[in-house]
Chain A
Amino acid sequence: MKGLNVVLGGAGLAVFLALGEAVPRLGLVKEAYFPPTSRIADALGDEVADSAFWTALGDTLTGWALGLILASCAGIVAGVVISVVPYLREATASTVEFLRPIPSVALIPLAVLLYGTELRSVLLLVVYASFWQVLIQVLYGVQDVDPVADETARSYGLGTWARIRHVLWPTALPYVMTGVRLAAAVALILAVTAELVIGAPGLGARIAIAQNSQAVPEMYALIVVTGLLGLLINVGARTVERRALAWHQSVRGEVMV
């Protein structure tokens, strides 16, 4: 079954790439704007050979990773504190619901005013967008604590800190993982957007340069790279999730008795 899925997935991709080759060659779309697959692949090969490309990739990944780490830590700490301190959840709910839907890109002018084209501009946008993803999941996860598990911990004299560490955190962890996985995808989107719009160094800025200099195949090649990055990030996040949650019913296999 799994083997069949791999074959079907591979076939689908091959057909997609073949269409990408054939449609421009047949003149159905303008080749100048939609270069065929082979030309994009050539451009990708040139990019990979260029050290400036690797610098740009490094910049993007730096902004992504730093932003994601900051947002995750802040989201986890804020989520736990909001849940544990009495009344804080009720007091913050409306503010969170107001701030959360603000699109991060709406903060671009603010970021430019504050930090210009520095890395900090990218970080501001990335952190703002990813923080909410993590925070909301942590808030849900903490609510999921089983009253029986918590009473058990209390009956054995576990204090607040021990209960956070041994009961609340493991219960919230599956939610935290989902939050971080979502945040990782959002962080990549925002990192590339920030570079593209603000001009902070990175893949986004390189895409903008390619577009301005009519280097259409190169532009597509860079877009493909951002797509591959997103794919790798998701696969990586899922692997980490499976390792850390081996005990969880969503991951563990058949129960043996």
Chain B
Amino acid sequence: MLDVRGLKKVYEGSGRRVEAVRDLTFTVDAGELVCLVGPSGCGKTTLLKCMGGLLAPTGGEVLLEGRKVTGPPPGMSFVFQEYGRSLFPWMRVGENVELPLRQKNLDKARRRELVRDALESVGLSDATSAYPWQLSGGMQQRVAIARALAYEPRVLLMDEPFAAVDAQTRADLEDLVRRLWRERGITILFVTHDIDEAVYLGERVVVLSASPTVVQEQLKVDLPDERDQLRTRVAPRFAELRTHVYEQIQAAKRGVSVTKSDTPPPH
């Protein structure tokens, strides 16, 4: 579904050359929910922007369903961390969700239907005519998710979407993402710096090294499909997995290279 091959991104400006991403190769299969974790400043956002066609990579390529990504592809939507800046304050919630659909040449009835359906599935049916700034942070991020859903993407890229909301809201939003993923069969790539969140959400966790970034490890999360904020987080397997990811990230920070593997740690 999504192929990242030898991706490299170097920022050059005012005599400084920063190699943000050195050589990244990984794939995301159709219908998977993959979490990307890495130490802070390891180029997660750069990677995601290259994948979303917002930044041109210096080397390597990103393929979506076998086709090279050169600009924002129509089958993909992006949820940003800064929901407050990503939603347009001059538009009501409904208009914010509808705006991307207007570029898709859909007729009015269909657009309305998509907007209503998307807002309903994030539990904000009654906020259509409010302005984003009249809503709480968590609700604003729900609107941003609804906007992404209404776009009917096959792939959803989420860039640390819950980094700026409080812990309780965050748990609710995590469950919302799990539910939407299961209901709609969208392929989701979820970037986070929170190890617990990555293990709780993902079917697979890709651990990135410190900058210049490579893939440190890929790990299959063999937790049951049905996850629960209370029980899953205290399950012994959850603790093992999070410890493992934590160790990997600590190793990444020290710059120790660990052999890449797809095998989870032994039980």
Interface residues of A (CB under 8 A from B): 146, 148-149, 151-152, 154-159, 162, 166-167, 170, 173, 247-249, 252, 255-257
B136 near A158 (CB under 8 angstroms)?
Answer: no
Known contacts A162-B103, A167-B88, A252-B133: A157-B74 contact under CB 8 Å: yes
Q: What is the CA–CA distance of A149 and B85 in the complex, to the nearest angstrom?
A: 6
The smallest C-beta distance from A92 to any residue of chain B, in angstroms, reads 24
Count of A-B contacts judged by CB separation below 8 Å:
67
The smallest C-beta distance from B118 to any residue of chain A, in angstroms, reads 13
B135 near A152 (CB under 8 angstroms)?
Answer: no
The smallest C-beta distance from A166 to any residue of chain B, in angstroms, reads 6
* Interfacial chain B residues near A148, Cβ < 8 Å: 80, 82, 85-86
Q: What is the CA–CA distance of A249 and B82 in the complex, to the nearest angstrom?
A: 17
B151 near A247 (CB under 8 angstroms)?
Answer: no
* Interfacial chain A residues near B164, Cβ < 8 Å: none
B90 near A247 (CB under 8 angstroms)?
Answer: yes
The smallest C-beta distance from A177 to any residue of chain B, in angstroms, reads 13
* Interfacial chain B residues near A154, Cβ < 8 Å: 54, 72
Known contacts A151-B54, A166-B99, A257-B136: A156-B86 contact under CB 8 Å: no
Task: With CB as the reference atom, state the residue of chain A lying closest to B52.
Answer: A155
A155 near B89 (CB under 8 angstroms)?
Answer: no
Fill in one digit per residue for B206-224: 1 if any A CB lies within 8 Å of its CB, else 0.
Answer: 0000000000000000000
Query: Which 8 pairs across A and B sit closest by C-beta, in order of nearness?
Result: A156-B100, A148-B85, A155-B78, A170-B90, A152-B86, A247-B90, A155-B72, A257-B136
The smallest C-beta distance from B139 to any residue of chain A, in angstroms, reads 8
* Interfacial chain A residues near B141, Cβ < 8 Å: none
Which of B49, B74, B76, B135 contacts A257 (CB under 8 A)?
A: B135
A146, A152, A256, A257 interface centre (most CB from chain B within 10 Å):
A152
Q: What is the CA–CA distance of A255 and B137 in the complex, to the nearest angstrom?
A: 12
A256 near B134 (CB under 8 angstroms)?
Answer: yes
Q: Does B192 have its Cβ within 8 Å of any Cβ on chain A?
A: no
The smallest C-beta distance from B50 to any residue of chain A, in angstroms, reads 12
A158 near B89 (CB under 8 angstroms)?
Answer: no
Fill in one digit per residue for B65-77: 1 if any A CB lies within 8 Å of its CB, else 0.
Answer: 0000000101011
* Interfacial chain B residues near A256, Cβ < 8 Å: 134
B90, B131, B136 interface centre (most CB from chain A within 10 Å):
B90
* Interfacial chain A residues near B102, Cβ < 8 Å: 162
* Interfacial chain B residues near A247, Cβ < 8 Å: 89-91, 131, 133
The smallest C-beta distance from B80 to any residue of chain A, in angstroms, reads 6
A149 near B100 (CB under 8 angstroms)?
Answer: no
The smallest C-beta distance from B143 to any residue of chain A, in angstroms, reads 12
